[in-house]
Amino acid sequence: MANKISFKKIYSLLLIIPAFCLQAQSVGINTDNPTKTLDVNGELRIRILPSGNEGEQVIVSDQDGNILKTSLPKAIPSVGDIKDGYSSADHEGWYLLNGRALSAIPATAQTNAASLGFIGNLPDFSGKYTKMIAPVESINTVTGNTSYMMGKANMPNFSMTAVTAASGAHAHLIPDMRPGQLYEPGVFINGFPGTGVYNNSGETDTTTTNGAHTHTITLNSNGGGQAFSLAPSYIALNSFVYLGN
CB atoms within 10 A of CB 140: 14
Does 20 reside within a domain? yes
Query: What confidence tens digit (pLDDT) does each residue in 91-127 have?
Result: 999 999 999 999 999 999 999 999 998 999 999 999 8
Q: Above 60 in pLDDT, residue 233?
A: yes
pTM above 0.85, yes or no: no
CB atoms within 10 A of CB 239: 19
Q: Please give the single-letter amino acid code of residue 126.
A: S
Does 11 reside within a domain? yes
Does 106 reside within a domain? no
Q: Which of 9-23, 28-42, 210-224, 231-245 has the lowest mean pLDDT?
A: 9-23
Total of domains in the chain: 1
Does 93 reside within a domain? no
Containing structural domain, residue 35: 1-47
Does 17 reside within a domain? yes
Q: Which of 158-162, 168-172, 173-177 has the lowest mean pLDDT?
A: 173-177
